[in-house]
C-alpha cells in the first residue's frame, strides 16, 4: 500500500517522456508502435498498482476479522495471476509476442477460478449470513485478482501490437 504514490509518480514520469518523444522526434512505424504501447502499458501498470493496493486493504481487513476459510481456488488464482504478470513483463522486456500469446491463453483459467470462487461465496452467504462481510471481502479480493490477470492480458496484447503491428484485442486467443 505504501508504494502507491511512488507508482503514480513513476507513471506520470513515463507518460511525460513518451509525450516528449512524440513531440520532438515524431516517430513512425515500429518506433511509433513502441511509444504507443509503452503509454498503454504504463497506464495498465499503474492500474495494477491500484488493484494490488485494494487487495492489500481487503486482506488487512480480513486479518482483523473473525477467521473464515478461503476457497482453495483463490490460491490457485493468485499463483496463476502472479505468473501471468511476470510473463507479460518478460514479454515486454524481451519483445516476445509468443510469450504474450501464452499470457492471453492463461487468462481463461483465472476466469474459471473466479467463477468457482464466486459460486462458493454465494453458497457461503446463504449458509452463514453472519459472515457476509468477510465473504464479500474475499469475493472482492478474487475480483481484483481476476482484474490483475485481465491487465496482464492487456499488456500482452500491447506487446503483440508493439512487435507485430497486429491489434489482437477483443479476439479469441490465437
Q: How many residues does the chain have?
A: 174
Residue 117 predicted with pLDDT over 70: yes
Tell me how far apart the terminal alpha carbons of the chain are, to the nearest angstrom: 36
Domain presence at residue 154: yes
Residue 86 resides in a domain: yes
Residue 171 lies in a domain: no
Q: What pLDDT score does 3 carry? A: 86
In a domain, 81, yes or no: yes
Residue 170 counted as domain residue: no
**Quick check: 155 pLDDT over 60?**
yes
Q: What is the CATH number for 159?
A: 1.20.58.220
Give me the number of domains the chain comprises. Answer: 1
Per cent of the chain over pLDDT 90 is 92
Q: Is residue 172 part of a domain?
A: no
Q: What are the respective helix, strand and coil percentages of the chain, to the nearest 5? A: 85, 0, 15
What's residue 130's pLDDT? 94
pLDDT of residue 2: 76
50 touches 126 (CB < 8 A)? no
Return the beta strands (E) in 87-166 as ranges.
none
Determine, yes or no, domain membership for 119.
Answer: yes
- For the question of whether the overall pTM of this predicted structure is more than 0.95, the answer is no
- Mean pLDDT over 40-51 rounds to 96
With a cut of 70, say whether residue 174 has pLDDT above it. no
Domain that holds residue 68: 4-164
* 174, part of any domain: no
Amino acid at each position: 500500500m505504501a508504494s502507491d504514490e511512488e507508482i503514480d509518480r513513476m507513471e506520470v514520469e513515463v507518460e511525460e517522456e513518451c509525450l516528449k518523444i512524440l513531440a520532438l522526434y515524431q516517430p513512425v512505424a515500429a518506433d511509433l508502435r513502441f511509444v504507443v504501447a509503452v503509454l498503454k502499458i504504463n497506464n495498465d501498470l499503474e492500474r495494477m498498482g491500484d488493484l494490488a493496493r485494494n487487495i492489500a486493504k481487503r486482506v488487512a481487513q480480513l486479518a482483523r476479522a473473525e477467521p473464515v476459510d478461503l476457497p482453495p481456488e483463490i490460491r490457485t488464482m493468485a499463483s496463476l495471476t502472479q505468473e501471468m504478470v511476470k510473463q507479460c513483463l518478460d514479454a515486454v522486456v524481451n519483445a516476445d509476442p509468443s510469450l504474450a500469446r501464452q499470457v492471453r491463453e492463461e487468462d481463461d483459467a483465472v476466469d474459471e477460478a473466479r467463477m468457482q470462487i464466486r459460486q462458493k461465496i454465494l453458497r457461503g452467504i446463504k449458509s452463514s449470513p453472519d459472515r457476509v462481510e468477510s465473504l464479500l471481502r474475499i469475493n472482492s479480493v478474487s475480483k481484483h485478482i481476476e482484474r490483475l490477470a485481465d491487465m496482464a492480458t492487456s499488456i500482452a496484447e500491447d506487446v503483440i501490437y508493439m512487435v507485430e503491428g497486429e491489434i489482437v484485442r477483443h479476439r479469441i486467443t490465437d
